Structure 1
Amino acid sequence: MALQESTGLDVYQTYFEPTTYLGYYKMGQNPVGDDVLQFSLKHYNATFKPGGLRGKLLIDIGSGPTIYQLLSACESFEEIIATDYTDKNRLELEKWLKKMPGAFDWSPVVKYVCELEGDRDKWAEKEERLRRTVRRVLKCDVGKERPLEPAVLPLADCLLSSLCLESACGTLEAFRDALRHLRPLLRPRGHLVLTGSFDCTFYMVGDSRFTVLPLKEKVLREVLQESGFTIERLEKAQRGPETVLEKCSDYTGLFFLVAQKND
């Protein structure tokens, strides 16, 4: 297959192959995937542990075909709604949720999270808890004023998004618009939890090259403030040295932030 450079949401529908992308999340087999997982899972655990963020409804924006970002949150929220733009990603999520043949094996990642929580042996119990807690998988388009239309949902206590917005938004203006579109989904004083990358311009999924909006910390802080959020915590990490020779992406670091809606 010839190298395909992909931009915009429609090319995700056409070219994004979830089963290929999931290769990043085979723990111990992909340095870049391990870099992302170890950073983000540690901070999800700290954010959603007892005494942390909790509530009735969490909406995951741009879930992709992954569930790692929800493994800690499912202990703290009564209901989770997963969302994604592409049909293939939503089908891949449903495959795992319904234990269908060919579903990705998340058990090494689940065991890692359970170890962070203090009991690695509870991994099967956690998988079942997550399956019970994710009630729906919906289409989402952050470029629309109403991203989840036609679905009508109660206001969320928490919006979560991992490695999504900088991939879905080709310009800084589109990034601002996406946050403006998402904000009404959140209750007053509700929380936004974002995980993403710094300075990334592309990542590879097989032979397809997907462009990314490169973000700087200063710009990220400014856009969130302009969008009506107050950052409560921003964690950063430089790209792991073991990933330097990996040419599948050019990110320089990762961020994890928790922000509160101002009203």
Structure 2
Amino acid sequence: MALQESTAPDPYQTYFEPTVYLNYFKMGQSPVGDECLYFLLKHYHAVFKSGGLKGKLLIDIGSGPSIYQLLSACEAFEEIVATDYTDKNRLELEKWLKKMPGAFDWSPVVKYVCELEGDRDKWAAKEERLRRTVRQVLKCDVHKEQPLEPAVLPLADCVLSSLCLEAACLTEEAFRGALRHLRTLLRPGGHLVLGGGFDSSFFMVGDRKFPCLPLKEKSVREALQEAGFVIEKLETKARAAETLSDPDADYTGMFVLVAKRSD
């Protein structure tokens, strides 16, 4: 995740604990985490399955310590570059990629995606494929005109960002700016895949509250158009009634969209 430049202490670098955040992705242990995860995995599978988006390079913006968002994409792209704003998130992600002791166990999530693809038993092979496909883990800041500077990459066929921008951008102006900056990473005609929540003003990581920008579908559509994108697909889901009382987050719905860079 990225953060707006500020003279105040940096809450993400200082307080965001990736190992606590990863509790959301322990299937069956967090109602909010399960709801978000199943929705996102299902729609990322639909986006990247055979006949869907594919290409040479995908850049994932705001990967956090997570790999769930890349499990379908690694079947469709030759190379993936993961990125994040915080040092601790990048280190935690590297821990899994390099099979280091104490790495998070993603196998239940990987098995679920393999089940979507028709063969749950290939989960170990998928993990290895993803490790081979992720070529770099870089620092990013979506508030910079060149979000990955000083790194220089070829223009990507696809930019993916999952549960990042509403946390990184606390004003509509910042959100619109971030979309313009992400557009510079894409080749003409390339695609942006964006997953997130509607009306979310915060989410919890342990006992620490992190603010969010409460996105509306209308504002997302307008911001994408202004940034030079054409939405090709937008899937939404209202929050389930049984999770409404969960104190970890206050989103009212989820979305996954695919937008094409218009030139």
Q: State the TM-score, normalized to the length of structure 2.
A: 0.96
* Offset of residue 8 of structure 1: 4.7
Q: Give the structure 2 partner of residue 261 of structure 1.
A: 261
Give distance in 2, aligned partners of 1:100 and 1:182. 31
Give 1:170 shift.
Answer: 1.1
Q: How does 1:208-227 map to 2 (within 5 A)?
A: 208-227=208-227
Percent identity for Structure 1 against Structure 2: 76
- Structure 1 distance, partners of 2:242, 2:138, is 36
Partner of 1:68: 68
User: What SS class does the counterpart of residue 146 from structure 1 fall into?
Assistant: coil
State the match for 1:128 in structure 2. 128
Q: In the alignment, which residue of structure 2 is the partner of 1:202? A: 202
Partners of 1:106 and 1:31 in 2: CA distance: 17
Matching residue of 1:169: 169
Q: CA deviation at 1:132?
A: 0.2
How many pairs align? 257
Structure 1 position 243 matched with structure 2 position 246: no
- The offset of 1:195, in angstroms, is 0.2
Partner of 2:55 in structure 1? Answer: 55
Tell me how far apart the structure 2 counterparts of residues 102 and 164 of structure 1 sit (CA, whole Å).
25
CA contact (8 A) 2:244 2:250 kept: no
User: SS of 2:52's equivalent?
Assistant: coil
For 1:176-228, what per-residue CA distance to the aligned partner results, in whole angstroms no more than 9, with x for missing partners? 11111111110000000000000000000011100000011011101100110
What CA distance in whole angstroms lies between the structure 2 residues aligned with 1:142 and 1:183?
11
Q: CA RMSD in A?
A: 0.9
Question: In structure 1, what is the Cα distance between the partners aligned to 2:255 and 2:48?
Answer: 17
TM-superposed CA distance for 1:245, in Å, is 2.3
Distance 1:151 1:227 in 2: 23
Inter-partner Cα distance in structure 1 for 2:218 and 2:245? 28
Is residue 104 from structure 1 mapped to residue 96 from structure 2 by the alignment? no
TM-score (norm: length of structure 1): 0.96
SS in 2 for 1:175: helix
Aligned to 2:156: 156
2:243, 2:103 → 1: CA distance?
Answer: 27
Cα distance in 1 for partners of 2:41, 2:102 equals: 25
Tell me what 2:21 maps to: 21
1:144 matched to 2:144: yes
3-state secondary structure, aligned to 2:129: helix
How far apart are the structure 2 equivalents of 1:240 and 1:112? Answer: 20
Task: Tell me how far 1:131 sits from its aligned partner.
Answer: 0.2
Unaligned runs of 5+ in 2: none
Cα distance in 2, alignment partners of residues 64 and 241 from structure 1: 28
Contact preservation (8 Å) 2:232, 2:259 = yes
Output one character per residue of 1:91-133: Cα deviation in whole Å (capped at 9) or x when no partner.
Answer: 0000000000000000000000000000000000000000000
Aligned twin of 1:12: 12
Tell me, yes or no, if the aligned pair for 2:162 and 2:196 is still in contact at 8 Å. Answer: yes
Task: Tell me, yes or no, if the aligned pair for 2:191 and 2:258 is still in contact at 8 Å.
Answer: yes
Partner of 2:34: 34
SS in 2 for 1:159: strand
